[in-house]
A and B are shown apart, each in its own frame.
Chain A
Amino acid sequence: MRTGARAIVVGLALALTACGGSAPGASSSNSYQGKTIHLGAILSLTGAGGVYGPSSQKGMQLAVDKINGSGGVNGAQLALDVKDDNSDKAQSAQVAQTLIQQGQLLSLLGPTLSNSAVAVHPLAESFKIPILAVSTTGIHIVPDCNYPKTDPCKYVFRDSLGEESAIPADIKTYADQAHPKTGVLMVANDDKFSSDGGKIVQNTVSQYGIQLLDTVQFSKTTADFATPVTKAVQKHPDVIFITSLGGIPAKIMIEARKQGFTGQFLGGNGFNTAVVSKQAGADGKGAQSGSAWYINNTFASNAGFVQAYRAKFSSDPDQFAAQGYAAILILADAAKRANLTFSDVAGDRTKLRDAMESVNIDTPLGRFQFTSDHDVKQTIWIIQMDGNGGFSLVKSVTPS
């Protein structure tokens, strides 16, 4: 069955190229003609990460279709194999190993969750296959995935905006404008994403003259937020920082307003989904966070992406779709310049890795280049909840 599908893909590739679609630069590397570039993605399509993974998948598929439809990569077609990891770390690593050892993939994408990335990325590194993270925001994703060895990872890349960039940009923007004096941090201490965010807030606030009066820790599984919120509100801070996932930020905002808190809410990627904004409703109005992408941004390739996405899926894309889409563009561009042999997989993986370091293309996230640490350097969109389930743009912060 699988080889059948592959034959069809190759057949399509031949048919398309035979139709005379001359890809740019095709003349220089005819060895690509009729070949297939295999990519594998490990995404959380089910389980806790199931709210993010499907968006990434749609974005990736859109980009693959677009590239294949316009002549492929120097005539070679892209084939994307998406595997679900059930949001489970052990399954994520198992799937990654299976994909790697099948021996045809040139690169991996994912996994969706930071918690899985800590297992999958070092694995990819030890097998010397490039891996491009598309949605992970935690600390220790790149560059210091230095387990088990101590040198930085060479094969691990990320095109998603880390909390280490998003949260400080958000705090700086607010501090420049409102000059808050005091703050309280509310952090869910039982998952990596949230506690990473908390650590970043603790390390950042003093730079902007904000005194952290207290850090209130709570568990994700807390049913009633009245007690932790009271602890925070009774310190009368100017700002409450919230680093947590899912519906929790919304619950905290509602409870804090009920208890008479009138100050500002600041946070990270946990705020950035429409669901949270909707849940918080009027109580969340003005809650401010840093985001990797903004639907109405004016970058060269963004309008085309949004339009194509709406046409194909009849819904608006989100940050994760944009990051997935950009990831495929990045890999396609690297593959184009890598002089792949299509016979020596190990050699091709290393060539692709080398080419990825010099990617410089237009994506919906803006002009894209990796930093020397293989991380993203991009515009950060500071957004506020508008009280009606949406977001409004405060300003954009360009990378320094």
Chain B
Amino acid sequence: MDFFIQLFTDPVGFYNQHELLIAQIGINAILAISLFVTFYSGQLSLANAGFMAIGAYTTVILSLYLPFPLPVNMLVGAVLAGLLGLVVGLPVLRLRGVFLAIATIGFVEALRLGVILNVPITGEGQGLKNPTADPLGGIVPILVSLPVLSYLIWRLTRTRLGQAWSAIREDELAASSNGINVPLYKMIAFVIGAVIAGYAGALETHINFFVDPTEYGVTRTIQILTFAVVGGTTNVFGPIVGAVFLTALPEIVRQFASYRDVVNGIILILVIIFRPQGIVGRGGLALIRPKWLPASWSARERPASAL
């Protein structure tokens, strides 16, 4: 409770004491957005951790060896992640559903175990120091990027492009017979997701002082997927809420000391049971509906994108 009491009674003190937590929430929210974009176009891609690694490593390596200013390095990192997305997307986007998920996990592991651990410039298993790290200054670009990105993606889902993604998600065959260039639109979603993930990786190195391969494995990928599932995927704000909720939760339940993981897990299970459509999304609580609550409040929808 200390956490909330301070949040409301002493917001300035709260901000000062939890700057890194807030920064991490912001990064996780941006990662959640990157997953959402591919999800929205009906693809269960789990390659985000890999693109994140590209963004992070590129930024740090450029900062170590070249005199460019940091924003340029970060931009290069994001663009490179996008280019790699294009290359990886060509073969893997022929797959659908769980097969795509497996192929993208394969990409993440191949990148981490095959490339990062064997190319000397990445520091291999020992990781790399980030010479430009600035943990407290790093929060500003994050706090600016998050609303800008979420607004852009929210607008994007309402354009023709977004509608095409929706159509593909609902029924690929129908979309294609209506003249939508399915492979092209899928590829656009995949590359946008890659660029955003790469950008999030670049932002993260800025607060973390260090990049090492353990950060970008399957665990990270699953974590990002959890943000989207818990938050809901009907619109871009679902994954963001999921990221905020799941990143802050360990701190909120800190007072339970050694039972922290247990409480954390129970809350997560409760959310999944009662809000299978995600925290953000239509409908009320699943399973249990008090008699006085109008029937229309209860969840009728199963998650649209269970895939």
A residues near B (Cβ < 8 Å) are 2, 45-46, 83-84, 86, 89-91, 93-94, 97-98, 101-102, 115, 118-119, 122-123, 126, 139-140, 146-148, 188-192, 194-196, 198-199, 217, 219
Contact = CB atoms under 8 A, between A and B. Distances in A.
B60 to A, nearest CB: 11
Interface of B: 2, 13, 16-21, 24, 112-113, 117, 124-127, 129-136, 207-210, 212-215, 250-251, 254, 257-258, 260-261
- The 10 A-B residue pairs with the shortest CB-CB distance, nearest first, are A195-B125, A101-B17, A118-B210, A147-B129, A189-B125, A94-B21, A94-B20, A97-B20, A98-B17, A148-B133
A94 B18 contact: yes
A117 to B, nearest CB: 10
Given A46-B260, A115-B214, A126 B135 contact: yes
A86 B261 CA distance: 9
Contact of B113 (A126, A199, A219): A219
B208 A97 contact: no
B130 A139 contact: no
Contact of A139 (B19, B126, B214): B126
B215 A89 contact: yes
Given A2-B2, A191-B125, A93 B113 contact: no
A192 B208 contact: no
Which interface residue of A46, A139, A148 has the most chain B CB atoms within 10 A?
A148
Contact of A190 (B21, B24, B213, B250): B213
Given A94-B251, A192-B125, A46 B258 contact: yes
B20 A147 contact: no
B222 to A, nearest CB: 14
B209 A118 contact: yes
A194 B126 CA distance: 9
A191 B209 contact: no
Contacts of B113: 190, 219
Nearest to A144: B129
A195 B20 contact: no
Nearest to B261: A46
Nearest to B258: A45
A189 B117 CA distance: 7
A98 B6 CA distance: 12
Given A93-B20, A97-B17, A196 B260 contact: no
Given A147-B130, A148-B130, A119 B210 contact: yes
Nearest to A193: B125
A190 B125 CA distance: 5
A67 to B, nearest CB: 24
Nearest to B133: A148
19 contacts: A45-B258, A84-B257, A94-B18, A97-B135, A101-B16, A115-B212, A119-B209, A123-B209, A147-B129, A147-B130, A148-B132, A148-B134, A148-B209, A189-B117, A189-B124, A189-B125, A191-B214, A192-B214, A217-B117
